[in-house]
Amino acid sequence: MSSREQILARVRRALADVPADESPVRAAGGGFADSHGAGPTLEVLEDRLRDYRALVHRIPADRVAAEVAAALERRGAARVVVPAGAPPEWFADSSVERLPDSLGEPMTIDDLTGVDGVVTGCAVAVAETGTIVLDGGPDQGRRAITLVPDYHLCVVRADQVVDGVPQAVRLLDPARPLTWISGPSATSDIELNRVEGVHGPRTLEVLMVEPGP
């Protein structure tokens, strides 16, 4: 049995006594305080992300296009990678050059190194750990496009945010290529000197889209 199979077997055993009709509770701005004492779910996620040195903006649903354009302008981005399934309305207010990446025409590593960043959505976000999970969905694309460029702009909807890891695991398909992102790429040497950008983007910027009225 491989290490992956062992881990999945442990997860299945841990969930064996969960009632069949129980479902994870998706949060839309509240609920986290009841069980963790940490505060409303979206506030916890924002706090964790900022602690990891990510850039975070809470925005209304009707401001996504404007905020995507503003973020890319602040970054000075002229050319960004965009997954084939990213909603075109995200870029309605932006004049940035969008470079599509698809399984049929994937960009090379050299191509990805030469762009100014990548814009994606996410599969789920975990408030407790400040983690954004990608699963290779249409608005997220291949893992490479979020690991090679130096800047990652991620759009996270409020209804994609859950309280903790167990809820996230139940929503995810373990057969998909999962990437768990907790802030910008960073590592530390033996003297605890922090170095960013070693294994992925040095800058993670998150647009947290709050529910409409």
Where do we find the tokens 């963790």? 36
Who wins on pLDDT, 29 or 127?
A: 127
Residue 38: per-residue pLDDT = 52
pLDDT digits (tens, 9 = 90+) for 54-108: 999 999 999 999 999 999 999 999 999 999 999 999 999 999 999 998 777 888 9
- Looking at residue 49, what is its pLDDT? 95
pLDDT over 70 percentage in the chain: 81
Rounded mean pLDDT of 194-209? Answer: 77
pLDDT band, residue 190 (cuts 50/70/90): low
What is the reported pLDDT for 28?
Answer: 46
Domains located in the chain, CATH noted = 26-210 (3.40.50.10420)
Mean residue pLDDT across the chain: 86
Q: Look up residue 201 and give its two tokens.
A: 């983007």
**Per-residue pLDDT, 35:** 42
Q: Kindly report the number of other CB atoms within 10 A of residue 15's CB atom.
A: 12
Note if the pTM is more than 0.95: no
What pLDDT, on a 0 to 100 scale, did the predictor assign at position 46? Answer: 95
* 57 phi and psi angles, rounded to 5 deg: -135, 125
* DSSP state letter for 96: P
Question: In sequence order, what are the residues at sequence separation of 6 or more whose Cβ sits closer than 8 angstroms to the Cβ of residue 85?
Answer: 137, 138, 139, 141
**Whether the predicted pLDDT of 164 surpasses 90:** yes
- pLDDT classification of 189: cutoffs 50, 70, 90: low
Residue 135 vs residues 13, 70, 123, 125, 175: alpha-carbon distances, Å = 23, 26, 6, 11, 9
What pLDDT shows up at residue 199? 58
